[in-house]
Homo-oligomer: A and B are copies of this chain.
Amino acid sequence: MSKVTLKVIAKTLGISTSTVSKALKNYSDINEETKTKVQELAKKLNYTPNSFAVSLRMKESKTIGVIIPTMVHHFFSNVIEGILKEAERNNYMIFLMQSNEDFELEKKQIDLLLSKGVDGVIMSLSNKTRDFSHLQKVIDSNVPLILFDKIAKTINCSKVLIDDRKAAYDAVTHLINKGYKRIAHFRGDLNPQNSIDRFLGYKKALLDHNIEFDPTLVYICDNNSDFSDGFNSAEKLINDHGKNVDGLFTVNDLIAIGALDYFNKNNIKVPEQIAIFGFSNWFMTKITNPSLSSIDQNALKMGEKSTEILIKEIDYKHKGIAYEYQKIILDTELIIRNSC
């Protein structure tokens, strides 16, 4: 049988919901006749005052909406696993949606999730998202929102991320300390904040170590979930700079593995001729030839932490307790392997 709310009883009897609520709780300011009518109808519908009270207090769907830009991606699979595990532990269910890097779809998905009455939303933005009014809509609907990885700086909500700038800075500094000087960067799209921050960390590491920043050594990999971008950019890099490049820092491991594949197939020795440093410590990096240095960003924990904070905010909201938005910066770790 479908849910029956106070409203149905109220409408049926032509009285207000607060009167129904009070009648079910047997408040003294409601006259006996009304109480009897309400309680009889509630009984008829198989609802006791108690179950009404529970359903009122619990006005939660116990569902969380999750939007990610892309599904077939080691990082996002791990984040989702973290979300699913933490949700499971707290008896929440997950509506999963993939924006497919499509801003219009992402907007539509927000509307769908809100119409489904989710208790909260966790998301990582598509690379195409430049307007954030759909995020503001979630907040305005009084639905807690957590952004992770690809976030909007200007949106006021809790965020879980890593310090991309610092991680990139540390990786490039490691290359410099190992003696590499002409270090290229295969960056991601121009738009996403983490792509910008990784680029800025790369640039700052060069400047802090008195190495001139050469913009011709920076290549943009638009579609950064495909290693063929890394392969093609490596080909361009060698065509453009020949032997006048000795290091490479990439925005992610797929790009790094694509570049490594190009170098291997063209007898360019890694790390003797060119060192490579990836990003995100995808488990394949352990068994590439040579194994690939990378930055571990603990995607599983990012998913768990996002969910944990969201559930806390949902809980506080229902209890009417005020809370402050959090910005969680998860630790990253340099994983040094044979590629540098």
- Which A residues are closer than 8 A to B by beta carbons? 1-5, 7-8, 11-12, 14, 41, 44-46, 63, 71-74, 77-78, 80-81, 84-85, 88, 93-98, 100, 105, 112, 116, 227, 257-258, 261, 264, 283-284, 287, 289
CA of A9 to CA of B326, assembled, Å: 45
Taking CB atoms, residues of chain B closer than 8 Å to A105 are: 88
Number of identical protomers: 2
- Pick the contact of A227 from B74, B257, B287 — CB < 8 Å? B287
* Given the contacts A12-B12, A112-B93, A284-B284, A84 and B72 also touching, CB distance less than 8 Å: no
Q: Are B12 and A5 in contact (CB under 8 A)?
A: no
A65 closest partner in B (C-beta):
B93
* Given the contacts A5-B1, A71-B80, A84-B97, A46 and B11 also touching, CB distance less than 8 Å: yes
| A143 → chain B closest CB, angstroms | 16
Q: Are B11 and A8 in contact (CB under 8 A)?
A: no
* Given the contacts A96-B96, A112-B93, A44 and B2 also touching, CB distance less than 8 Å: no
A8-B45, A12-B45 known; 5 other A-B pairs, CB under 8 Å?
A: A71-B84, A72-B77, A94-B95, A94-B97, A257-B287
